[in-house]
């Protein structure tokens, strides 16, 4: 499973939404994620992927998160 | 005397914060609570940086005790307001309506203790990691913006999730609530609705009278459809709003527009027809307008007696 697929799966689970509608260029706002959802998602991603995700204004889209996770995995 | 890490670290006589309530928590109220030995808090609400700076400076003329500022993270002026906090250096900054992580660094560098309001364990963990001094675990019994979890369920779970101190909020208006909060793992409480009816609170008298007249089931939650759940007193405004909220023909934008300015109409104008009177489920437990100091003293006298009496249950 690619990082994007794993993250999409976690987003879909967090928001109870259709995984096929999630695209890399979508922002948290596009996905309807509020701060509560984002916090939940970050914790779930850290547990599942074994990485640390720091919330920052630069982290806006699904692709931003994928890049952050991939950088840590290397 | 009830002491905890909160009283010791912040130099308070009582481990109580006065909630940052928009259009309600002004310098005069904050100073009264701080002078009484709690932590008064000025609400930056959605006004600009000049307003906040003026309020902080006014508060300093009214008290030499520590006080805080509540930053509403969805405010259009949040960046400027965050900067004013870093410059003016109130003892504490509390935050609401989001994750404050983007501003934490500048506040921590200014020596401010950051204490975010959190509605979940995940948010508590994230702000702990970013350097929060404590968290305020606020249950859905509270007035204003609310999360889903109740104080009873949220406080112990947050206390288990983080190592930093936990302050309980939502549904606390007397010594029984304080004693219960401590039993749940909190080391302090935050109260909003109670202080709304303090003598020093400048909110319109109609607002205070509505709170005093409230019964136990008189609050409702609106705005769930917009993901902005808000608890307030049942009024002509909430009836109209709820009708529209459940009407599929009303767009989200129309609904949003309906809420704009409603709190100001309640707090400043005392407009009982069109105002939105934010209040928590304990509104019915507030029976009279009293000085903030008397409220706090009574509350902690009762809490102390209750906590001392706890061994009676253990045989």
To the nearest whole Å, the CA of A31 is away from the closest chain B CA by 13
| Residues A36, B123: C-beta atoms closer than 8 Å | yes
Fold classification of A3-73 (topology level): 1.10.1200
Give the ipTM.
0.86
CB B214 within 8 A of CB B284: yes
A38 touches chain B (CB under 8 A): yes
Mean pLDDT along residues B80-103: 94
- Contacting residues of B for A32, CB less than 8 Å apart: 227
**Dihedral (CA of B123, B186, B199, B282) sign:** positive
- Contacting residues of A for B119, CB less than 8 Å apart: 36
> Number of residue pairs across A and B with CB atoms under 8 Å?
37
| Residues B99, A35: C-beta atoms closer than 8 Å | yes
Which strand ranges, in their side-by-side order, compose the sheet holding B219-222? B144-145, B230-233, B219-222
| Residues B73, A54: C-beta atoms closer than 8 Å | no
Flag whether pLDDT at A74 surpasses 80. no
Domain boundaries, chain A: 3-73
Q: What are phi and psi of B70, to 5 degrees?
A: -100, 125
d(CA B147, CA A18): 25
Question: Is A34 a residue of the active site?
Answer: yes
Flag whether pLDDT at A73 surpasses 80. no
Residue at token pair 């606390």: B172
d(CA B52, CA B288): 30
Kindly name the residue from A16, A30, A34, A70 that is annotated as catalytic.
Answer: A34
A42 touches chain B (CB under 8 A): yes
Residue at token pair 């930053």: B71
pLDDT in tens, B286-306: 999 999 999 999 999 999 999
pLDDT in tens, B141-195: 999 999 999 999 999 999 999 999 999 999 999 999 999 999 999 999 999 999 9
Q: pTM for the whole thing?
A: 0.94
| Residues B120, A35: C-beta atoms closer than 8 Å | no
- How many CB atoms are located within 10 Å of the residue B21 CB? 25
| Residues A55, B99: C-beta atoms closer than 8 Å | yes
Tokens in use for A56?
């920052």
pLDDT in tens, B119-138: 999 999 999 999 999 999 99
Task: Give me the pLDDT at residue B179, please.
Answer: 97
């Amino acid at each position: 499973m690619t990082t994007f697929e794993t993250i999409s799966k976690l987003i879909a689970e967090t928001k109870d939404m259709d995984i096929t509608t999630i695209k890399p260029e979508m922002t948290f706002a596009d996905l309807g994620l509020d701060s509560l959802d984002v916090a939940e998602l970050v914790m779930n991603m850290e547990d599942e992927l074994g990485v640390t995700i720091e919330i920052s204004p630069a982290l806006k889209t699904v692709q931003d998160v994928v890049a952050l996770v991939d950088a840590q995995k290397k | 005397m009830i002491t905890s890490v909160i009283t010791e670290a912040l130099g308070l006589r009582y481990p109580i914060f006065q909630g940052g309530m928009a259009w309600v928590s002004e310098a005069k109220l904050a100073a009264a609570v701080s002078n009484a030995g709690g932590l008064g808090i000025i609400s930056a609400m959605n006004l600009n940086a000049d307003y906040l700076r003026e309020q902080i400076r006014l508060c300093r003329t009214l008290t030499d005790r520590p006080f805080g500022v509540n930053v509403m993270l969805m405010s259009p002026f949040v960046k400027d307001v965050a900067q004013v906090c870093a410059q003016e250096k109130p003892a504490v900054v509390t935050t609401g309506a989001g994750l404050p992580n983007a501003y934490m660094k500048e506040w921590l560098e200014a020596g401010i203790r950051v204490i975010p309001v959190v509605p979940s364990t995940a948010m508590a963990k994230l702000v702990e990691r970013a350097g929060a001094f404590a968290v305020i675990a606020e249950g859905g019994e509270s007035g204003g913006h609310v999360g889903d979890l109740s104080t009873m369920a949220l406080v112990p779970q947050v206390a288990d999730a983080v190592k930093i101190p936990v302050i309980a909020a939502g549904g606390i208006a007397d010594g029984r609530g304080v004693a219960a909060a401590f039993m749940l793992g909190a080391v302090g409480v935050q109260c909003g609705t109670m202080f709304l009816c303090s003598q020093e609170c400048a909110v319109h008298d109609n607002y205070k009278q509505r709170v005093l007249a409230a019964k136990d089931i008189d609050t409702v939650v609106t705005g769930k459809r917009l993901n902005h759940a808000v608890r307030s007193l049942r009024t002509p405004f909430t009836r109209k709003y709820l009708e529209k909220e459940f009407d599929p023909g009303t767009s989200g934008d129309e609904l949003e527009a309906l809420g704009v300015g409603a709190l100001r109409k309640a707090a400043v104008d005392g407009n009982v027809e069109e105002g939105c009177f934010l209040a928590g489920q304990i509104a019915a437990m507030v029976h009279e307008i009293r000085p903030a100091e008397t409220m706090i003293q009574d509350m902690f006298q009762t809490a102390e007696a209750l906590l001392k009496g706890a061994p009676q249950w253990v045989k």
